[in-house]
Structure 1
Amino acid sequence: MLEVTLRHGFPGFTLEASFAAPAEGVTVLFGPSGCGKSTLLAAVAGLLRPEAGRIALGGAVLFDSRAGVMLPPERRRCGVVFQDARLFPHLSVEANLRYGLRRAPRGAEGPDFSEVVELLGIGTLLGRRPALLSGGEKQRVALGRALLSRPRLLLMDEPLAALDQGRKAEVLPFLARLKQRLRLPILYVTHAMAEVDRLADTLVLMQAGRVLASGPVEEVAARTDLPLLGARRDAGVVLACRVLRHDTAQGLTHLAFPGGELAVPLATVPEGGPLRLRLRARDVVLATEAPRGLSVRNILPVVVEGLAAAEGHAAMLRLRAGPSLILARVTREAVARLALAPGQAAWALVKAVALSGPDGEEAPDD
C-alpha cells in the first residue's frame, strides 16, 4: 500500500493532501490543472521535499519529516514517465530501453526485455532514434524504459497530455494491457475523465491542493455531492461488467453487471472477460410506466434512491438497479410532472454508453 500525508506551501498555494492507495492496480490523481497533482507525484518520487508529512510504500518509509527520513529518488525504486518522453536522443530505442534495465537493482523481479518489447509493441522500433518516432511511440518507449528499471511503483505524470487524439488512442490500449498483465501499483496523474474511465481502479479527487474524496472509482465517480464531478457534462457512473455473449448477426455484445444486463455494440473482449462501461447521467431517461415500442435497447427496472438540484433547471436522480447505482439528469419540470420521489419504482432507459475493454477500445452505443 502507498500511504501519503504531506503539506507543502508555495507563494499563494498550499498543498495539504492525504490518501492511501492499494498495493495493486491504478490509482488516478484527478482534478483541474494547478490543483497539486503533479506536485504530489513529485513528492512521492523524491523530486520534492515536502515541508511536513510522511510517505510510505509497502511499509517502507520514503519520507518522514518528524523522523528526518528523506530517501533520495534513486533508492525509492519508482519508475517515472513524464508528459515529454525524455528519451536520450543520441541512443537507439533499444539502447534507451537497456539503460532502464541497467538501473534495475540486482535480483529485482520484473518483466524482462523481450516481455516489455512485446507488451508495448515496439519490436519494430528498436533500431530507430527518438527523432524518428511519433509522440505515441516515444511514450511507449519511455514507459518500457521505466518498466525495465524494475520499479516497485510506477508514476505517470499526465503521459498523454501532449498527444493528439490519434496518438492517445495509440497509447491507451498499451496502458490498459499493462494494467492487466503486470501486478504493479501505478500512480497516474490526469485531468481527462476518459483516462479515468479506462484505467482507474482507485480515484483520488483533488481541488485547490486538497483531496476531496478517494476510494474505488465506481464509488467516487458517482458522488453527486462533489461539484467537480456532478457538474460535468459527462457526469455519470462507471460499471464493471462481464461479457455474457456476442451476437455477431445483430452486431451486439451482451453484458452482465450487478443489477442487470445491457446490450452494447459488438466488442472485441472475449466472452467472460471484463469490460468497463460509463453510463452518463445525460444519456439516461426515466419512465414511471413500463415502456413499450421503443428503439432504445436497454431498459432497466430501478428504484429512485434520491434526488438533488443540478445546474440550471436540472435535477440529478440517484437510481438503484439492484446493488448498482445509476445517475440520471432530468429537468425539474419532469421531476414534478412525474411526481418522482425516493422509494418510487421506475424504468431507466439507457440511450448511450461508452465502453472501455481491457485493450482500451471505446465505442458509443446510440
Structure 2
Amino acid sequence: MREARTGYIEVAFNGSLENIPLDAQFSLPAKGVTAIFGPPGCGKTTLARCIAGVQRLPIGFCAVDGEIWQDETTFRPPHRRPVAYVFRPPIPLAHWSVRRTLLYRASQSTPTLIDFDGVVELLALAPLLERSPSHLSAAERQRLALGSALLGQPRLLLLDDPLIVLDRSAKREILPFLERMRETLPLPMIYISDDIADIERLADHLVMMKDGVVTSAGPLNVVQSDPVLARRGEAAVCLDTLVGGYDGRYGLIMLRLNRARLAIPGVPLRPGAQLRLRIAASDVSIACAPPRTSSILNVFPARIKGSLPFGEAEVTLVLALETGRSGVPLLARITRRSFDALRLSNGADVFAEVARAVPFAAADRYLQCLPRSA
C-alpha cells in the first residue's frame, strides 16, 4: 500500500471517465503554486475534479501533506476534503451584500488559515463590502469567490482556469492578488490553465499534460527547458532572484541568483525582495570564451545539456548555468550556422550572454523610495 509523505501533493490516477482517458502521476511540494498546463481537452479539468473528489476513478491515489484522500481502501467525498475548488466567477446571491456573503462563509469554519479581516485586507475588499455581489464586475466577483474560498480554511486551493472568462484588463487586476495569496498564505495552490504567460508569472512548479497523460512535472524552470516547451517559438525560462541592492548612478537593480550576480535596468526595490525574471531563448547568445569587452552585462559560465532543431535555420540550446551545485536551467536560440561555426556539442562548456531579462510587474509592490546614490 502506498504511503503519503508530509510536505507533498501526491497524485496517481489511471483509468477513464466518460471515455476520457487519464494517466496522471506526479509528486510535488505542497507549497506555492503548482500549475497544470496543456492544450484544451487534454484532461486538466478531469484531473482537477478527481483531486477534489467530484469525480472518482477506482484506480487512484491522492494525498496532500501526508493526508490520504484516496487510495485502495479510502475515498473521501468532496465535503470531507479540505479543498476549495474555484473556477470561473460565480453569480452570488443578489440579495446578500459582499459583507454578509463573507461573514456567512466565515461563520462555518474556525479561522485556522485566515479570518474575515485578513481576507478583506488581502483581497482589498473593503470598498466592496456594502455592495450587492450582482453589481460587481467579473474581476470583483472573482476576488469575492477567492475570499469565500479562503474563509473555508482549506488545506489546498484548486483554481481551475479562474481567469478564462476575464478580459485582459480584468486579468491584470486579479493576477497581483493571486501572487499576494501565494506569498502571504501557507496554502498550496493548484492552478490549471492553458495560458503559459499566466503560468510563467504565478507558478513555482509545473505539470505538463497531453491526451490525458502527465508528460512532465517539476520546478517551473526545469520543465520550461523540457523539449515540449523549449521548441516553442516563444520559449523562455523564469528565474527567481533576490534583490541585493541598487546602482543609482546607472539605474540598475542588482540581483542574486545562487552564486551569480545580475544587473538589470529598473527602479529601486526593497533589498531581499524576490524578483522573477523571464529570459527568452531569443535573448541569450553563446560565446566559447569570456568576452573581454561587450555591452552585455550578464555573462555566465554554462554547459550545453541538449540541442533542439528550431525550423530550418536555428537551434535551441538547453543550458545549465554554473551558479552552484545544481546548474540553473536556461535556453538560448542561435542560428545553425553559429552552432556549426563554434563547433558546439552536448556537454560543451560555454558562456551564456543574457542580453535581456524582463521582470514581472508583480515586483511593483516592493518599490520603495531609495536615494539615487544608493
Name the SS for the 1:79 alignment partner: strand
Per the TM alignment, residue 338 of structure 1 is displaced from its structure 2 partner at its CA by: 2.1
For structure 1, the residue ranges without an aligned partner over 5 or more in a row are none
Per the TM alignment, residue 155 of structure 1 is displaced from its structure 2 partner at its CA by: 0.8
151 and 11 in structure 1: CA distance in 2 versus 1, 3 angstrom threshold: closer
231 and 167 in structure 1: CA distance in 2 versus 1, 3 angstrom threshold: same
Equivalent position of 2:192 in the other structure: 189
Name the SS for the 1:142 alignment partner: helix
> Distance between the aligned counterparts of 2:254 and 2:269, measured in 1?
11
Equivalent position of 2:369 in the other structure: none
1:324 is aligned to 2:361:
no
Match of 1:7 among 14, 23, 34: 14
Name the SS for the 2:206 alignment partner: strand
295 and 166 in structure 1: CA distance in 2 versus 1, 3 angstrom threshold: farther
343 and 38 in structure 1: CA distance in 2 versus 1, 3 angstrom threshold: closer
Equivalent position of 2:287 in the other structure: 287
> Distance between the aligned counterparts of 1:271 and 1:327, measured in 2?
28
1:195-210 matched pairs, under 5 angstroms: 195-210=198-213
Per the TM alignment, residue 86 of structure 1 is displaced from its structure 2 partner at its CA by: 4.0
Deviations 1:211-243 (A, max 9, x none): 11112222222223xx2x122222122222111
1:138-287 matched pairs, under 5 angstroms: 138-224=141-227, 227=228, 229-267=229-267, 269-287=269-287
Match of 2:86 among 47, 56, 81: 81
Match of 1:71 among 63, 67, 76: 76
Equivalent position of 1:37 in the other structure: 44
Equivalent position of 1:58 in the other structure: 65
Name the SS for the 1:178 alignment partner: helix
Equivalent position of 2:370 in the other structure: none
> Distance between the aligned counterparts of 1:341 and 1:272, measured in 2?
38
Count of residue pairs brought into register by the alignment:
355
> Distance between the aligned counterparts of 2:27 and 2:154, measured in 1?
19
Per the TM alignment, residue 344 of structure 1 is displaced from its structure 2 partner at its CA by: 4.1
140 and 360 in structure 1: CA distance in 2 versus 1, 3 angstrom threshold: farther
Name the SS for the 2:145 alignment partner: helix
AA paired with 1:81?
V
Equivalent position of 1:132 in the other structure: 135
Name the SS for the 2:147 alignment partner: helix
Match of 1:333 among 331, 337, 355: 337
180 and 11 in structure 1: CA distance in 2 versus 1, 3 angstrom threshold: closer
- Give the superposed CA RMSD: 2.4
1:99 is aligned to 2:104:
yes
Per the TM alignment, residue 295 of structure 1 is displaced from its structure 2 partner at its CA by: 4.2
- Aligned residues of 2:275 and 2:363 also touching (Cα < 8 A): no
178 and 48 in structure 1: CA distance in 2 versus 1, 3 angstrom threshold: same
Deviations 1:6-30 (A, max 9, x none): 1342455301211123222211111
With the length of structure 1 as denominator, give the TM-score of the two structures: 0.89
Identity of matched residues, %:
37
- Segment drifting more, 308-317 vs 108-117: 308-317
Per the TM alignment, residue 130 of structure 1 is displaced from its structure 2 partner at its CA by: 2.2
Deviations 1:176-224 (A, max 9, x none): 1111111011111111222222221221111110111112222222223
> Distance between the aligned counterparts of 2:21 and 2:75, measured in 1?
20
- Aligned residues of 2:17 and 2:57 also touching (Cα < 8 A): no
Per the TM alignment, residue 324 of structure 1 is displaced from its structure 2 partner at its CA by: 2.1
Per the TM alignment, residue 268 of structure 1 is displaced from its structure 2 partner at its CA by: 6.0
Name the SS for the 1:47 alignment partner: coil
- Aligned residues of 2:89 and 2:139 also touching (Cα < 8 A): no
Equivalent position of 1:24 in the other structure: 31
- Aligned residues of 1:242 and 1:275 also touching (Cα < 8 A): yes
With the length of structure 2 as denominator, give the TM-score of the two structures: 0.87
- Aligned residues of 1:100 and 1:147 also touching (Cα < 8 A): no
Per the TM alignment, residue 308 of structure 1 is displaced from its structure 2 partner at its CA by: 3.1
Name the SS for the 1:70 alignment partner: coil
